[in-house]
Structure 1
């Protein structure tokens, strides 16, 4: 059976609580969870769910990564992903340095196509391949934007910044993800594209979803809708608006605003009915299936686990759905099944997530906590669980 490491989210919460001079009861009074829940998490008897960790981080006024231990450097080094982060960071820092005569750039058409391919690779969770190719594409586009700027070039450069954000988030480098979002805003302004600017607000809202500051996240969602303004009737604008509503739904659910969450889901569904399958519009994966997945997430975030599982069972994922969304569905379902004491089903869902997107699953903090919870519940862990725990870094 895998050994329960003493270095996990629960022990980090205990350490940070003590550094803040708080007893367990004092901390429990500051979060929407019971004293019993907190004590179980700290001793490793209960997994630290993403929402629980966010609540503690907010109460202690620290970054959530202090508690999750991200980025998971050991596993990143094993997968040779850590060495790819620095080139991305350096390419992001070229934005305001002007043209570089030493850069030989591909044609505009080739670079626009390369930027699109990077988005496709991330959606397919081919993170290593995307991270390898990204710095060169970003560097060449930056040079071309300074040499002969056009709207198409600025949009393509903005797309690479979005890809840098997505890769950084999935690998746990949230500081780098914030830099990428700043660059996205810079390029969106030069492209004169309100959809890109609104998308940036959506991603910024998700930062506060992760950090537990839901009121700020909801303000960013409203800001995103405002940026779309009068140009809100195009297919692209409707798609971005729909995605903003999906972001608003889970933020509202975390904030305990059930009515607002329901309203956001209803508005998103209206947009999905109007645009149809818009999964490739800005690569947001927007469509009716994504609305269903977020409706399930709303129930889960509000701890309505029976309802969340009912919805999960009713969802039929189309073959065309992005691999990243498929894996996320299985990870969410595994968490719900664990909360309901369905260990065998939870493990099956985690295996499905790993099979769908191994890189994404290995670096997702929620996946780690679910596996930890399954290990704790097992008197004698079955071989698939032992293998999963070893693979994920326990």
Structure 2
């Protein structure tokens, strides 16, 4: 079992020093600080000053975020992220204003909104984030000047896309704002299904609280009371999967099993996968992926490994779901001592969905475990040529798994 990072800067310095194959004295020789200070920082006896951390990062030729614990996706290039996110925030803030552009016809806007949602599902976040503000602005104008159920539905769906992008980029405040706007538009559309989707998204943002998370799931099911359409069944099933995520976060196995059973019943009613229903992709495959994720959250590694090996994802599985499966499986393989298999799945996740893989928390967990497991991780020659296994260094592990040695983000 890999040794876990204890979340101290000194422990992270020790980890990165070992990955660079340096002794404490060798690293100290590269610093304008003493060996004694380095030793005390690593063992936790002294607090690392910012100047000391900067010097260590320069000496190891890594990004300082790897030593401070900051998320490189949201902190390495704040100007680039701000340039990407700020127009979305402005478009959300202008929800009650009557803008004065000349928007495209509603069918064109609806098609553009669907395209952006598809891009998010395909993990092409930069393209989606770039196009989204203009679509929100045009739909807002249309809703103010020619209000109707169709435009309100399109606007609510687009706000939901804004939430997904903001959450994936680490802007939780913006994600919450987008959900508020989604509720505002869904109310005007008088669409209980859209309103229930919003409650599902809210529940996922409150996984830290079982009570609140499950209350939001219940509120979503209440909105669907009496609804018997395939759309309603798919959303009700997705709500149960949201409850699985909330319950697994708190290791409530009974609740996980109950909600998985309910989701499987609804998946049978829906019949096959339903990617066209609010882009939820609800069905048997999504239910299995959530079950695997629950094993990961509850640290049921043996059960998770058995399920992961038995799963066969259909070719039609959307990219974001496939990447989630691959990262979860990589974590399971790593936790059960199969480091080479873990790295193979991380490499595949990066190939399938490079942007999603870079910032997925499971990727960081797996990479941290891999680099702690041994000085080198052997990768079979299927990934490197012919002959015996290849020994990979720390930087190669990070590079192949989608996190560069310098912690670079997808926005470089």
TM norm structure 1: 0.79
Q: Equivalent residue for 1:241?
A: 236
Q: 1:256 aligns with which of 251, 263, 281?
A: 251
Q: 1:121 aligns with which of 97, 119, 122?
A: 119
Residue 13 to residue 280, structure 1, CA distance change in 2 (3 Å): farther
C-alpha contact 1:172 1:363 (8 A) present in aligned 2: no
Q: 1:226 to 1:241 in 2, by over 3 A?
A: same
- 1:390 aligned residue: 404
The aligned runs of 1:155-234 (5 Å cut-off) are 155-209=153-207, 212-230=208-226, 232-234=227-229
Closer, same or farther: CA 328–90 of 1 in aligned 2, 3 Å: same
TM-fit CA distance, 1:75: 4.9
Tell me which residue corresponds to 1:20. none
Structure 1 match to 2:17 = none
Aligned length: 333
Change (3 A) 1:12 1:169: farther
Matches within 5 A, 1:145-156: 145-156=143-154
Determine if the alignment matches structure 1 residue 137 to structure 2 residue 135: yes
Question: What is the aligned counterpart of 1:327 among 323, 326, 329?
Answer: 323
Question: Is 1:272 the equivalent of 2:286?
Answer: no
Q: Residues 355 and 392 from structure 1, CA distance in 2 versus in 1: closer, same or farther, beyond 3 angstroms?
A: farther
| Corresponding residue of 1:100 | 99
1:347 Cα deviation after fit:
0.9
How large is the RMSD of aligned CA atoms in angstroms? 2.5
Mapped contact 1:71–1:173 kept (Cα < 8 A)? no
DSSP-derived class of the 2:315 partner: coil
The 1-side partners of 2:127 and 2:328 are apart by 26
Q: Could you say which residue in structure 2 is the equivalent of 1:291?
A: 287
Shift of 1:309: 1.0
Secondary structure in 1 aligned to 2:127?
A: helix
Is the CA contact (8 Å cut-off) linking 1:72 and 1:363 kept in structure 2?
yes
Which stretch has the larger CA shift, 379-388 or 176-185? 379-388
The corresponding residue for 2:8 is: 11
**Which of 358, 377, 390 is matched with 2:373 structurally?**
377
Partner of 2:88 in structure 1?
88
**1:293–1:329 Cα contact (<8 Å) kept:** yes
Structure number having the greater helix percentage? 1
CA contact (8 A) 2:301 2:336 kept: yes
Provide the rounded CA distance (Å) in 1 between the counterparts of 2:332 and 2:267: 26
SS state of the match for residue 125, structure 1?
coil
Which ranges of structure 2 fall in alignment gaps of 5 or more residues? 12-41, 45-67, 378-391
- 2: CA distance, partners of 1:239 / 1:261: 18
Cα pair 2:301 2:335 within 8 Å, conserved: yes
Query: Would the alpha carbon gap of residues 218 and 380 (structure 1) be closer, same or farther in structure 2, given more than 3 Å must change?
Result: same
Gaps of 5+ in 1: 1-7, 15-41, 45-66
- Identify if the C-alpha distance between structure 1 residues 96 and 319 changes in structure 2 by more than 3 Å, giving closer, same or farther: same
| Separation (CA, whole Å) in 2 of partners of 1:126 and 1:218 | 31
Deviation for aligned residue 1:256: 2.6
Is the Cα contact below 8 Å between 1:71 and 1:171 reproduced in 2?
A: no
Q: Once the two structures are superposed, what CA deviation does each residue of 1:5-43 show, in whole Å capped at 9, x if it has no partner?
A: xxx8813799xxxxxxxxxxxxxxxxxxxxxxxxxxx98
Deviation at 1:344, TM superposition (A): 1.0
| Cα distance, 1:307 vs structure 2 | 0.6
Measured after TM superposition, the shift of residue 71 of structure 1 is 6.8
- 2:70 is matched with 69
In 1, distance between residues paired with 2:366 and 2:161? Answer: 27
- SS of 1:149's equivalent? coil
Length-normalised TM-score, structure 2: 0.76
Deviation track 1:102-139 (CA, whole Å, cap 9, x = no partner) reads x1100011011111111111111111111111000000
Q: Is the 8 A contact 2:10 2:43 kept in 1?
A: no
